[in-house]
Amino acid sequence: MKAMTGRLRPSMLAAGRGLLLFVAAMTVSVTLFVLAVISISFILLGIGVFTTPVVLEAVRKHANQRRLWAMTWSDVRIPVPYRPFPKDLRSGVTGQVERTTLMLRDPATWRDLQWLLIDMTVGAVVAFLGAALMVYPVEGLVLAAGLWRVFRDDPYWYGFVPVDSQATALAALALGIVLFHVGLWASRPLLRLHFSLARTVLAPTRDEELAQRVERLTETRHEAVDTAAAELRRIERDLHDGAQARLVAMGMNLGTIEALIEKDPAQAKKLLAMARESSAEALTELRDLVRGIHPPVLAERGLGDAVKALALRLPLASEVTVELPGRAEAPVESAAYFAVSEALTNTVKHAEAERVYVDLHHAEGMLRISVTDDGRGGAAIGSGSGLSGIERRLGTFDGVLAVSSPAGGPTMVTMEIPCELS
């Protein structure tokens, strides 16, 4: 009984999500496919030059939303393969023609259109099947409760059972119970199957993915070099303005003390106290500087305990779940730690949240981290934002970042880094 109760909630949730996917497929996917076909057909008339980029951009947003749901609902990762637009893209009619040409030359555009076809047919059926298996048994229950009397003269077919009496209504109820149990076991696999079908169409080919990864790693390598140089300058500045200045002042005080120790012992004693205070402050600053480079708890106890220690210092309620059977390499742990730290800082500063949840686990060669809060939402990856910094940090290790943050919340920041644990 407990096992069934424990399975009921996630199965019902999967069924509800399947129903949402079915509605999205039969409305949004169908509409966007029709608009895309019409818009591309009208390019020769000139109208399509202005409408095609808008429609295809909407298609990409729809596909990206499905990618986000695939990862957050079923842990199915679908890469984003779109080619970036050049920074010097012109405006006006010439720019519209160039934008339309670039989008139509991108293989990902045609994969999106193929996916819309799959989504509105096979994908919709698979998504709906999980919901139907959970909802259809309710009809069997209603028939057994007395609705069968309406069909005494003309039997009503419930599945393969003709219902025209109490006995056949009970048979329909038995069939409904069987279907309900099938739905309990099948709704989540069916949801994952829906996203797997989407991945077979939306995901780039191996050659395209390798080329994209090389391009992305080249870009993130340059960013990592620039970030490292900036970090080195910050460390040098902090040392020069902080600990180094205090140590120089302490050395000068010790020289003065050496001259005064026989002539004015009382003044020498005061200067000794000042030197002791300066040394303690310098030591504190050095410890803070080292902690900013690589926290001791991270080196000593690993990523899980380091994140727990980080969460304990937050001014809001927190819950950290860790399932890591081993440790990743030190650079990966450091990147993950500071990425979580930045995500939690964003939560404290902007989310107006009361509670935050952090989950860390490793599966299929991926370190997966999610940071979820119950705040006001509205977070987005953009130029200069903390999330952009997280994305750059993860990109150095071929990692990815996904953000789900509707207005009103909740906000879920999901991170993945390919790595092995030792």
Residue 97: is its pLDDT beyond 80?
yes
pLDDT at 327: 87
* Average model confidence (pLDDT) across the chain: 80
Alpha helices in 261-302 (DSSP H): 265-293, 296-301
Confirm if 191 and 183 have CB atoms less than 8 A apart: no
pLDDT at 196: 92
pLDDT at 118: 94
Provide the token pair at 293. 């480079």
pLDDT at 231: 57
- The sign one gets for the Cα dihedral 154, 156, 160, 162 is negative
pLDDT at 285: 62
Residue 18: is its pLDDT beyond 60?
yes
Burial class (CB in 10 A: 0-12, 13-18, 19+), 43: middle
Q: Which is more confident, 281 or 397?
A: 397
Q: Tens of pLDDT along 150-188? A: 766 677 777 777 777 778 778 878 888 888 887 888 888
Average pLDDT over residues 220-247: 60
Task: Give the Cα separation of 42 and 34 in Å (integer).
Answer: 12
Q: Interhelix angle for 48-74 vs 166-202, to 10°?
A: 120
Closest CA to 30 of 108, 93, 124: 124
Task: Give the Cα separation of 356 and 348 in Å (integer).
Answer: 9
pLDDT at 381: 73
pLDDT at 60: 92
Q: How far is CA 326 from CA 295, 304, 367, 419, in A?
A: 19, 10, 11, 11
Among 23-37, 55-69, 118-132, 382-396, whose mean pLDDT is lowest? 382-396
pLDDT at 227: 55
pLDDT at 38: 94
Q: Tens of pLDDT along 330-342? A: 888 888 888 888 8
pLDDT at 345: 84
Q: Report which listed range, 70-74, 95-99, 401-405, is most confident.
A: 70-74
Task: Give the Cα separation of 333 and 399 in Å (integer).
Answer: 13
Q: How far is CA 367 from CA 180, 333, 341, 343, 420, in A?
A: 35, 10, 16, 16, 8
Task: Give the Cα separation of 98 and 106 in Å (integer).
Answer: 12
Residue 392: is its pLDDT beyond 80?
no
pLDDT at 228: 56
Closest CA to 103 of 36, 47, 38, 42: 36
pLDDT at 405: 80
pLDDT at 265: 75
Confirm if 385 and 352 have CB atoms less than 8 A apart: no
Task: Using the structure block, give the residue that is written with the tokens 């919340």.
Answer: 409
Closest CA to 173 of 185, 159, 184: 159
Residue 384: is its pLDDT beyond 60?
no
